[in-house]
Amino acid sequence: MGDSSTKELERIIVEDDEQTEEPPMYRVVLLNDDYTTMEFVVMILETVFNKTTEEATQVMLSVHNSGAGTAGVFTKEIAETKVEIVHQIARQNEYPLKCIMEPA
Ligand code: TYC
Protein backbone atom coordinates (compact mmCIF):
# COMPACT_ATOMS: atom_id res chain seq x y z
CA MET A 1 0.00 0.00 0.00
CA GLY A 2 1.37 3.42 -0.96
CA ASP A 3 2.15 6.12 1.53
CA SER A 4 -0.73 8.31 0.36
CA SER A 5 -3.39 5.63 0.89
CA THR A 6 -2.01 4.98 4.42
CA LYS A 7 -2.38 8.73 5.12
CA GLU A 8 -5.91 8.64 3.72
CA LEU A 9 -6.80 5.67 5.97
CA GLU A 10 -5.39 7.56 8.98
CA ARG A 11 -7.47 10.62 8.04
CA ILE A 12 -10.63 8.50 7.82
CA ILE A 13 -9.92 6.83 11.17
CA VAL A 14 -9.30 10.20 12.91
CA GLU A 15 -12.45 11.67 11.33
CA ASP A 16 -14.49 8.65 12.45
CA ASP A 17 -13.10 8.99 15.99
CA GLU A 18 -14.07 12.66 16.13
CA GLN A 19 -17.60 11.85 14.98
CA THR A 20 -18.06 9.16 17.66
CA GLU A 21 -16.49 11.17 20.51
CA GLU A 22 -18.25 10.74 23.87
CA PRO A 23 -19.69 13.83 25.58
CA PRO A 24 -17.93 15.05 28.74
CA MET A 25 -19.38 13.34 31.82
CA TYR A 26 -20.13 14.80 35.26
CA ARG A 27 -20.36 13.10 38.63
CA VAL A 28 -23.24 14.19 40.89
CA VAL A 29 -21.95 14.03 44.47
CA LEU A 30 -24.25 14.05 47.52
CA LEU A 31 -22.91 15.85 50.59
CA ASN A 32 -23.50 14.79 54.17
CA ASP A 33 -25.24 17.01 56.76
CA ASP A 34 -26.56 16.48 60.27
CA TYR A 35 -30.25 17.22 59.62
CA THR A 36 -31.49 15.45 56.49
CA THR A 37 -32.95 12.07 57.45
CA MET A 38 -31.46 8.86 56.14
CA GLU A 39 -34.90 7.87 54.80
CA PHE A 40 -35.15 11.08 52.78
CA VAL A 41 -31.72 10.56 51.19
CA VAL A 42 -32.62 6.96 50.30
CA MET A 43 -35.88 8.21 48.71
CA ILE A 44 -33.94 10.81 46.67
CA LEU A 45 -31.48 8.16 45.44
CA GLU A 46 -34.36 5.85 44.48
CA THR A 47 -36.50 8.45 42.71
CA VAL A 48 -34.02 10.89 41.15
CA PHE A 49 -31.13 8.48 40.55
CA ASN A 50 -33.12 5.28 39.84
CA LYS A 51 -31.30 3.19 42.48
CA THR A 52 -32.73 0.10 44.13
CA THR A 53 -33.41 0.41 47.87
CA GLU A 54 -30.27 -1.65 48.52
CA GLU A 55 -28.04 0.51 46.30
CA ALA A 56 -29.58 3.71 47.69
CA THR A 57 -28.99 2.57 51.28
CA GLN A 58 -25.32 1.76 50.52
CA VAL A 59 -24.69 5.15 48.88
CA MET A 60 -26.50 7.00 51.69
CA LEU A 61 -24.46 5.19 54.38
CA SER A 62 -21.24 5.87 52.48
CA VAL A 63 -22.11 9.61 52.33
CA HIS A 64 -23.09 9.55 56.02
CA ASN A 65 -19.79 7.88 57.00
CA SER A 66 -17.33 9.61 54.67
CA GLY A 67 -18.93 13.03 54.01
CA ALA A 68 -19.68 12.66 50.30
CA GLY A 69 -20.57 10.03 47.72
CA THR A 70 -21.47 9.56 44.07
CA ALA A 71 -25.16 9.47 43.21
CA GLY A 72 -24.45 8.96 39.50
CA VAL A 73 -22.50 10.04 36.40
CA PHE A 74 -24.31 11.91 33.61
CA THR A 75 -23.89 14.30 30.71
CA LYS A 76 -23.67 17.96 31.75
CA GLU A 77 -27.31 18.90 31.16
CA ILE A 78 -28.70 15.82 32.91
CA ALA A 79 -26.33 16.31 35.89
CA GLU A 80 -27.41 19.99 36.14
CA THR A 81 -31.08 19.00 36.06
CA LYS A 82 -30.63 16.30 38.74
CA VAL A 83 -28.78 18.74 41.04
CA GLU A 84 -31.66 21.25 40.64
CA ILE A 85 -34.33 18.60 41.28
CA VAL A 86 -32.56 17.37 44.45
CA HIS A 87 -32.28 20.93 45.80
CA GLN A 88 -35.90 21.68 44.91
CA ILE A 89 -37.29 18.55 46.66
CA ALA A 90 -34.98 19.11 49.67
CA ARG A 91 -36.12 22.75 49.97
CA GLN A 92 -39.78 21.76 49.73
CA ASN A 93 -39.21 19.32 52.60
CA GLU A 94 -37.09 21.83 54.58
CA TYR A 95 -33.94 19.70 54.50
CA PRO A 96 -30.50 21.25 53.91
CA LEU A 97 -29.41 18.37 51.65
CA LYS A 98 -26.88 19.55 49.05
CA CYS A 99 -25.27 17.98 46.04
CA ILE A 100 -22.63 19.20 43.63
CA MET A 101 -21.41 18.15 40.20
CA GLU A 102 -17.81 17.70 39.09
CA PRO A 103 -16.09 16.49 35.94
CA ALA A 104 -15.98 12.68 36.04
N1 TYC B 1 -26.10 12.37 58.26
C2 TYC B 1 -27.54 12.26 58.12
C3 TYC B 1 -28.13 11.72 59.41
O4 TYC B 1 -27.44 11.23 60.25
C5 TYC B 1 -27.92 11.34 56.96
C6 TYC B 1 -27.46 11.84 55.63
C7 TYC B 1 -26.89 10.97 54.72
C8 TYC B 1 -27.64 13.17 55.26
C9 TYC B 1 -26.48 11.41 53.46
C10 TYC B 1 -27.22 13.65 53.99
O11 TYC B 1 -26.30 13.17 51.84
C12 TYC B 1 -26.65 12.75 53.10
N13 TYC B 1 -29.45 11.87 59.55
Residue 13 lies in a domain: no
The pTM assigned to this predicted structure is 0.86
Ligand 1, atom 10: closest residue by C-alpha: 32
Residue 55 lies in a domain: yes
pLDDT of residue 12: 57
CATH of the domain at 94: 3.30.1390.10
Residue 1 lies in a domain: no
Most ligand 1 atoms within 8 A of CB, residue of 30, 36, 62 to mutate: 36
Spatial distance between the Cα atoms of 99 and 84, rounded to a whole number of angstroms: 9
Q: Residue 102 to residues 39, 40, 71, 81, 89: CA-CA distances in angstroms?
A: 25, 23, 12, 14, 21
Q: What is the pLDDT confidence band of residue 14, given thresholds at 50, 70 and 90?
A: low
27 lines ligand 1 (CB under 6 A): no
Spatial distance between the Cα atoms of 6 and 24, rounded to a whole number of angstroms: 31
Residue 8 lies in a domain: no
Tell whether the torsion through CA atoms of 45, 50, 22 and 80 is positive or negative: negative
Phi, psi of 69 (to 5 degrees): -165, 155
How far is the centre of ligand 1, averaged over its atoms, from the C-alpha of 35 (Å)?
7
Structural domain boundaries enclosing 77? 22-103
Per-residue pLDDT reduced to its tens digit, 56-69:
999 999 999 999 99
Residue 7 lies in a domain: no
Per-residue pLDDT reduced to its tens digit, 72-83:
999 999 999 999
